[in-house]
Structure 1
Amino acid sequence: MVGIFPNEASIRRLIGAVLMEQNEDWLLQHRYLPQHTLADSNTGVTDVAFIPA
């Protein structure tokens, strides 16, 4: 083991933290409906009529 990490547990914590951050970034970029799209769609609707098929 390289002298940068005092033990195996410390390197596992670092790698785990990096992987968790990457996962969070991926989740925010790959949403099905981004929050800004939802905010835009709610501001323009004033009246909705239901027309049965």
Structure 2
Amino acid sequence: TKLHSTNPLERLNKEVKRRADVVGIFPSEASIIRLIGAVLLEANDEWQMQHRYMGVEAMSEMLNPAPTNEALQLPPRPA
């Protein structure tokens, strides 16, 4: 798809408007807030997945390394 704007805020506003146009008339203010909140939550989740520099799995492996049966071998001391 072709991006019409490089501004992320403009793209987010267009997505909210597109989804609001589908609904048409909202029954209450709370329903508008739920729709916009859902769009923002989805955008946040996508942003976090795209901009994750180090995954949760990698962090857990660093904090809790898998046990190994090999003993740590230190180099011999110079005499």
TM-score, normalization: structure 2?
A: 0.39
Between the two proteins, the alignment pairs up a number of residues equal to 37
Return structure 1 stretches of 4+ with deviation > 4 angstroms. none
2:44 to 23, 32, 35: 23
TM-score, normalization: structure 1?
A: 0.56
In the superposition, relative to structure 1, how do residues 33 and 4 fare at CA in structure 2: closer, same or farther (>3 Å)?
Answer: same
Which stretches in structure 2 are left out of the alignment for 5+ residues? 1-23, 59-72
Question: Max radius of gyration: which structure?
Answer: 2
Which stretches in structure 1 are left out of the alignment for 5+ residues? 39-48
- Alpha-carbon RMSD across the aligned residues, in angstroms, is 2.5
Query: Which is bigger in relative contact order (C-alpha 8 A, separation at least 6)?
Result: 2
